[in-house]
Structure 1
């Protein structure tokens, strides 16, 4: 059995992320990743059981980057936690748009059941837990968590792109209010 090289592992993850950004998450193949890294396709399977496992690791790596940049929502009342979560997501999208975009694309892929699970050990960035809590308290609209996440990610994505294009100023307050109003029940 070949020994795993940590640097090659990171190169594979980086290449897959680059391909997601370049061509979209659905077009990533082990062949393309191997070519980008400069290794034989069979070497990908030294590190990953299959393409889905490789994509899962790209997702996990991106989630870890995001997790490390968030302020904790633990202990906050639900309404405050929702607002801070939205703010955290925006700050992250501003600072690391590439990782935000990778997460957005991966979350929109069909048939990847592991993406729809809330595997966080803490509620720091656990959106599904927060959504379920808010729905149980009758604060958030009673729709599928994926719809709430789609509204949030979509609005943040559009706003960051508009700021980058110079179409709007970097005033996030009205966007946060819009997202909050869209996903929560009227008071």
Structure 2
């Protein structure tokens, strides 16, 4: 068995992200990834069983990074309003500083690959976040709705905001972001 080199593994992941964002799932191949990563096609199979294994591991790795960033500084000491705002700020920070990862996750979200690769259940990465929102519901600070719905109203407006900023349709100012935060809080508070 060949020795696994962390630099090669990273190059493969980065090449895959780049290509998926440029050409999408339907046109990606192991040979194209190998060429961009500057490795042989055979080298990729040292790290991954096949293309599906690589795409699944890439998705999980990026989703884990997002989960870690989104959960940063969130704990029981925050009020539900502070929790929502910090979650939204963390989400925006992740998206703006990791545009390629964000665009990749957007592609997975709109692709049959998530279902085909059994990737739709990554909710365990967000257990702590769900628990904090559940406590907010128990305190009566958040609406007594499904936690996933509440989280959607804190995350999806941020993604839409970021996309409009990326497209140059809206200024990514603090003032504009504060408006998004206020609208989201109005939607989830009890």
Do the two structures share a fold, i.e. TM-score over 0.5?
yes
In structure 2, relative to structure 1, the CA distance for the partners of 1:116 and 1:22 (3 Å cut) is same
The 1:121–1:84 alpha-carbon spacing in structure 2 relative to 1, beyond 3 Å, is closer
Conservation of the 8 A alpha-carbon contact between 2:133 and 2:147: no
Pair 151,18 (structure 1): closer, same or farther in 2 beyond 3 Å = farther
Aligned residue for 2:61? 61
> Are 1:82 and 1:130, in contact at CA under 8 Å, matched by a contact in 2?
no
Q: 2:151 and 2:26 mapped to 1: Cα distance?
A: 19
Distance 2:100 2:74 in 1: 24
- Please give the root-mean-square deviation of Cα atoms over the aligned residues, in Å: 3.3
2:75 alignment counterpart: 74
2:160 and 2:41 map into 1 onto residues whose CA distance is 36
Equivalent residue, structure 2, for 1:42: 42
CA deviation digits over 1:79-131, x for unaligned, max 9? Answer: 432221112101222222222222333344441433422333873xx4x5555
CA contact (8 A) 1:30 1:44 kept: yes
- 1:166 and 1:34 mapped to 2: Cα distance? 33
Tell me how far apart the structure 2 counterparts of residues 52 and 134 of structure 1 sit (CA, whole Å): 39
Give TM-score, length-normalised by structure 2.
0.72
| CA distance 1:118–1:181, shift in 2 (3 Å) | same
Cα displacement string for residues 37-59 of structure 1 (whole angstroms, at most 9, x for unaligned residues) = 24343332210123333223323
Query: How far apart are residue 4 of structure 1 and its match?
Result: 1.4
Aligned counterparts of 1:31 and 1:141: Cα–Cα separation in 2? 50
Tell me the distance in 1 between the aligned counterparts of 2:89 and 2:64.
18
Q: 1:107 to 1:161 in 2, by over 3 A?
A: closer
The answer to whether residue 130 in structure 2 is matched with residue 118 in structure 1 is no
Q: 1:100 aligns with which of 88, 99, 102?
A: 102
Contact persistence 1:31–1:41 (CA under 8 A) = yes
> How many pairs are equivalent?
181
Point out the structure with max Rg over C-alpha.
2
2:145 partner SS: coil
Structure 2 portions without partners, runs of 5+? none
Offset, 1:65: 4.0
Q: Counterparts of 1:25 and 1:154 in 2: how far apart (Å)?
A: 23
